[in-house]
Structure formats: C-alpha cells, structure tokens
Amino acid sequence: MELTLIEHSIILGTLLGDGFLQKRAQKARLRICHSYKQKEYVDWKYKQLLALCQRTAPPKSQQRPLGKAYSFSTQSEKILLQYHSLFYKENGLKKIDNELIDYIKHPLSLAVWWLDDGNARKDCVAGRLATCAFSLEEQKILQKLLFKNFKIRTNIVRNSIKKNKAQYYLYIPRQSFSRLVALIKIHVQQIPTMEYKLGKPRND
C-alpha cells in the first residue's frame, strides 16, 4: 500500500509527539493514545488514518492510573517500517537525527507535533514544545529543523534534572510563535476543541 501526503505528514508529526510504533516481525503498527479530554483530536486522527485501520477496532476509552485515556492502533503494515527505522534506535528508544530534517517539511506534520506536545503561554504570545525526552544534541537538531524548514526560531531551555539527567524544552518566542500559528491554524481549526493550543489572539 502507498500512503497519501496527509497520512505521511500525520504519522511524522505523531511520532515526533506522543505516538509510538510497535515493530512486529517485518511490519509495524502505530499506537495513538491521548487523554479522554482530547477525544475529538483522537477521532480526527483515526478518520485521517482510516485506510490503515481497516482491520482494527475504532478508538476506545480506558481508565488508567493517571486518568481516562482514549486510544487506537493501526493495523500492522510493511510500509510503517520505514518510520520505525527513522525514529527508533535498535534498543527501541526514540531518536532524533539529522535525517529527520529532510522529512518534516509539511505544516500538517508541524501542526500534529504541536497538538501533541505544544503549549501556548496564557500570559503572552509565546509557547513551548515539550521535548524533554530528547538529549541536548537532539534538541539542537529539532531547533535546526524548525528554523530551516519553517523559519521558526526557538530557544533551548534547561528545565530540570531527573535521575541525574538534564531535561530541556524548546521555547518559541513571540515573533516565531505568531508564524507557527499562521502555518498550522488551517489544520488546527478542523478540531475545535484543540484551538486553545493556538493561544490568545493578538490585539495589537
């Protein structure tokens, strides 16, 4: 099977964000899970990836220790293996390398990544991407990706230290946040309950 540009872009953005791939022999399947509060967002992803879900169950809710979740999985497909090699190390942990810069170019990928991991500040026009799972070197690659492909400038901010390991996030200042919103707004508006991720409107 071949993927459409929309499917390809959503998968890339999802894997930069909260989604994960499970490798199964010579195939892989995509697992998507969010808080039940983001039900409309999950349903949107399911609808966009429906061609990959012909042999799987629709999204369902589950009660978990941290709250109610809402999730679905695609069927296992050979074509998803290319994304596994792109995003995962041999030990199964996610990786970020320079190769990604040649893939994450469509605003839809950026929109999905932001909806998964982005947060708009409430006190000013700015935001941050929760990239704490990645090393400092990987943060620099993501920073380069955002500027080269979308002209979005970011600052790498040291957030905290957990288990003797520093964690970081990407801060998006005012001018670049306005550009981010302009790029992704058309996609985010398809999911009204997620429009809060665009932050407060500018009034100047």
The helix-helix angle for 174-188 and 107-117 (nearest 10°) equals 100
Walk me through the domains of the chain, giving residue ranges and CATH numbers.
5-95 (3.10.28.10), 118-194 (3.10.28.10)
Q: Strand ranges (DSSP E) for the chain?
A: 20-24, 27-35, 60-64, 67-73, 118-120, 127-129, 155-162, 165-172
Contact assessment for residue 95 and residue 89, using Cβ atoms and an 8 Å cutoff: yes
pLDDT at residue 204, rounded to an integer: 37
Question: Which residues are within 8 A (CB) of 126 and not within 5 positions of it... i.e. 6 or more apart?
Answer: 120, 171, 172, 173, 174, 177, 199
Closest residue by Cα to residue 21 from 129, 95, 109: 95
Contact 1, 103 (CB under 8 A): no
User: Do the bridges between strand 60-64 and strand 118-120 make them parallel or antiparallel, or are there none, so unpaired?
Assistant: unpaired
Residue whose tokens read 């009204």 = 192
Q: Please say whether the beta carbons of 170 and 157 come within 8 A.
A: yes
Q: Strand ranges (DSSP E) for 116-154?
A: 118-120, 127-129
- pTM, full prediction: 0.93
How buried is 156 (Cβ within 10 angstroms: 0-12 exposed, 13-18 middle, 19+ buried)?
middle
- Compute mean pLDDT per 10 residues along the chain, 204 residues long, and list them: 95 96 92 96 98 96 91 96 92 92 97 97 92 94 98 93 82 96 97 91 44
